[in-house]
Amino acid sequence: MNLKFNGGGVTYSKNLELSIIIPVYNVEEYLEECLNSVLEIRDINYEVLVINDGSPDNSQKIIDEYCKKDSRVKSFIKENGGISSARNYGLERAQGEYIWFVDSDDFINTDEFQKFFREVQKEKVDVFIGNYYFFENKNNRKLEAKKLFINEKILLGKEVLKKEGKELLAKGYVWKHLYNKDFLNRNNLFFYQEIILEDQLFNILCFLKASRVKFINKCIYNYRIGRKESLTNFSKDELVKISGYKICKEILNYTKEINDLYDVKRKMFSHYTDYVYLFRKRDKELEEKLWKVKGMYIVKFRKKYQMWKFFRKLNKDKKI
């Protein structure tokens, strides 16, 4: 991997409170808005790691200008490897106590984030959860997302998955969370590459291992919707199903941990059956693991189809 560091007069500090990691790929239209919002943060000792993931557009020229203007911005250039690769690269180099992953086509709510971070500074927590706005790109309008929790008490990560698993699995975006870097390091938590839905897998693993999670009801982030995406080689539906299958395989290594987490079990069941439906092939070794999960029969009968009927039809069709 060819890597290069452009350091705009950067001086490293041992007391960095926060590292903001921003992967960049083909976002020259939105990058300045993102960086401007991040650099408006005050009264926090932080760094901004901008990871150019082999972007072919003019993004690097914009990054270089910001490096010259602000020593908090640190620019890295690497070969294209996808968003998980870029986040991992930034995570390995981050020096802050907490990690915030920001997407380069979005932007933050600076005032709300500063209020949020004042709460962060009061206590040690593995994962902080914030709220966010949907930002409609076409209409230039903000819509507040659903509030997750009734209270703001510190909870076990598994309690969070039990109480709000359905919502977190559907919208488990990493940019609404702050992660304690020591917690990530101790548990060897990183992003799996060559999948989409990478946020979902990362957060399930984080919450399975976290002993202190806290929700703070501040809208810290603007998630841009309505921007066109380009996916190659497979259709988006195929990529989602393949990724879901890989997530299911990984999470089934934690059978004991997910036994009492209905929403996680339900999602793993859905991931696998969606994969089989689309590609018409089974993984019988994975199926054996799936059925060893406590209470999985409850999951299957609450779905709109029964597992035995599903496989019976597939076998009758002689397509797998």
Residue 261: C-alpha distances to residues 15, 95, 293, 313 (Å): 38, 34, 10, 29
Distance CA 19, CA 76 (A): 14
- Domain end among 177, 196, 225: 225
Residues 49-88 pLDDT 10s: 999 999 999 999 999 999 999 999 999 999 999 999 999 9
63 is a domain residue: yes
CATH, residue 172: 3.90.550.10
210 is a domain residue: yes
User: What is the total count of domains within the chain?
Assistant: 2
What DSSP character marks residue 254?
Answer: G
* Paired tokens of 68: 């010259």
* Paired tokens of 98: 């907490």
230 is a domain residue: no
Clarify whether residues 135 and 48 are in a common domain. yes
Using the predicted structure, report yes or no on whether residue 2 has a pLDDT greater than 60: no
Clarify whether residues 214 and 244 are in a common domain. no
Distance CA 266, CA 222 (A): 29
Average pLDDT, the chain: 86
- Name the nearest CA neighbour of 228 among 24, 23, 26: 26
- Domain end among 202, 225, 248: 225
Asked if residue 222 lies in contact with residue 106, where contact means CB atoms within 8 angstroms, the answer is yes
Clarify whether residues 21 and 108 are in a common domain. yes
Residues 197-211 pLDDT 10s: 999 999 999 999 999
Give pLDDT, residue 114. 97
Clarify whether residues 143 and 9 are in a common domain. yes
Residue 61: C-alpha distances to residues 2, 65, 115 (Å): 19, 6, 32
Task: Give the angle 72-78-179 at the CA atoms, nearest 5°.
Answer: 55
Using the predicted structure, report yes or no on whether residue 258 has a pLDDT greater than 90: yes
Phi-psi group of 221: left, alpha or beta (phi > 0 → left; psi -120 to 50 → alpha; rest → beta):
beta
Clarify whether residues 128 and 264 are in a common domain. no
pTM of this structure: 0.88
281 is a domain residue: yes
Clarify whether residues 275 and 197 are in a common domain. no
Residues 77-133 pLDDT 10s: 999 999 999 999 999 999 999 999 999 999 999 999 999 999 999 999 999 999 999
Using the predicted structure, report yes or no on whether residue 319 has a pLDDT greater than 70: no
Distance CA 262, CA 209 (A): 17
Cβ-proximal residues to 97 (8 Å cutoff; 6+ apart), any chain: 16, 17, 18, 180, 181, 182
What is the residue range of 291's domain? 236-317
Report CA torsion sign: 79, 82, 87, 92: negative
231 is a domain residue: no
Clarify whether residues 243 and 283 are in a common domain. yes
Cβ-proximal residues to 256 (8 Å cutoff; 6+ apart), any chain: none
What DSSP character marks residue 191?
Answer: P
Give pLDDT, residue 24. 97
Clarify whether residues 123 and 260 are in a common domain. no
